Amino acid sequence: MFADKNHIHAIATVLGTLGGFQAQPDWFATIAKTNVWQILMAAVLVFQGGGNLDIVYSVIVAAVFFTIIKVSSYIVIAPINPIVVQKPPVQVTESEAENFFIRRR
C-alpha cells in the first residue's frame, strides 16, 4: 500500500514534532494539548516533508508515531543499583586512626 513512499524522509520529518522551535501563542498551546491536534500537526509536517504529498500516508505515519510515543511514556528504565557488600567495622585505636595516612618509611 505504501511501498513507493519515502519512509526514512517521513520518519525524519515526524521527529521534528518533538520540539526545538519558537514558543507558540497561548491559543495554540491550549489546542496543542489535544491528541487529535498533535496528530494533525504531525501529519502536516509529514505531508510537506517526507509524506510525498499523500495525506492518507501522512496521517497514518503521524498516528503511528504518536501511538509509539504515548506507549513509550509508560516504559520506565530503573537505574542499576549494584549490590554493595558491607564489611564489618574494624576496631582501631585513636593513634592508628590519626596516623593512617602518614607514609611510613
Over residues 50-96, the pLDDT tens digits come to 777 889 999 999 999 999 999 998 988 877 777 777 788 888 888 88
pTM assigned to the model: 0.53
When pLDDT is averaged across residues 25-34 and rounded to a whole number, the result is: 89
Which stretches within 1-105 are classed as H helix? 7-15, 26-31, 35-48, 55-72, 94-98
State residue 105's pLDDT score. 53
24: containing domain:
1-105
Tell me the pLDDT band of 104, cut-offs 50, 70 and 90: low
In the structure, what pLDDT confidence band is assigned to residue 103 with cuts at 50, 70 and 90? low
Q: Which three cell numbers stand for residue 3?
A: 511501498
Number of structural domains the chain divides into = 1
Question: How many percent of the chain have pLDDT more than 90?
Answer: 28
User: Radius of gyration of the chain from Cα atoms?
Assistant: 28
